[in-house]
Amino acid sequence: MSFEQLQLKNQLCHRLYMASNSIARTYRTLLTEINLTYPQYVVMMALWEEDKISIAALIEKTAIDGSALTQILKKMADKALLTVIKDESDKRKRHIQLTTQGLSLKHQAAGIPKQIQCKFNSIDSAQAEQLMHLLDLVVHDLNNEEVDSLDINEQRT
């Protein structure tokens, strides 16, 4: 038996892993200049889209785990990029708001997406759009797998 199914060259997951690592390395070079990690950059992009949002909304927007996000927000608050504000009507809720420094960082980061896009020499814009769609499907399918299996189990009983 040759176990072809176990060869790395036949693994979609390994290609995604390698691509993710390559992208992280590429971003690291650019983000070091503005003193951000990639997860911090993702948070900043979400806040540049919509400032003063709840932590729950930020988790949904960024898909960053809640406990990891808490650590990221603490480090970013220490850098004076954002503040964590208690909700006046519900003390359990917190909102995240950019500081002036966090808002001004947007101008320094504005060229990063174009610099990253330029690194994709072998992919045109239509292929990039198709790849984003395919990755959205992968994320959707994997995130809904548990829900789907629960539905199947409920149908069996």
H-state helical runs in the chain: 12-32, 38-49, 55-62, 66-78, 100-109, 112-119, 125-156
pLDDT of residue 73: 97
pLDDT of residue 144: 85
How close are the terminal C-alpha atoms of the chain, in Å? 38
CA 24, distance to chain mean position in Å, is: 11
pLDDT of residue 157: 42
Q: What is the mean pLDDT of each run of 10 residues along the chain (157 residues)?
A: 87 93 94 96 97 94 95 97 90 92 96 92 93 93 66 46
Q: Where do the domains of the chain lie? A: 9-112
In CATH, which of 1.10.10.10, 3.40.1160.10, 3.40.630.30, 3.40.50.1980 is domain 9-112? 1.10.10.10
pLDDT of residue 146: 56
pLDDT of residue 145: 66
What is the rounded CA–CA span in Å between residue 7 and residue 13? 12
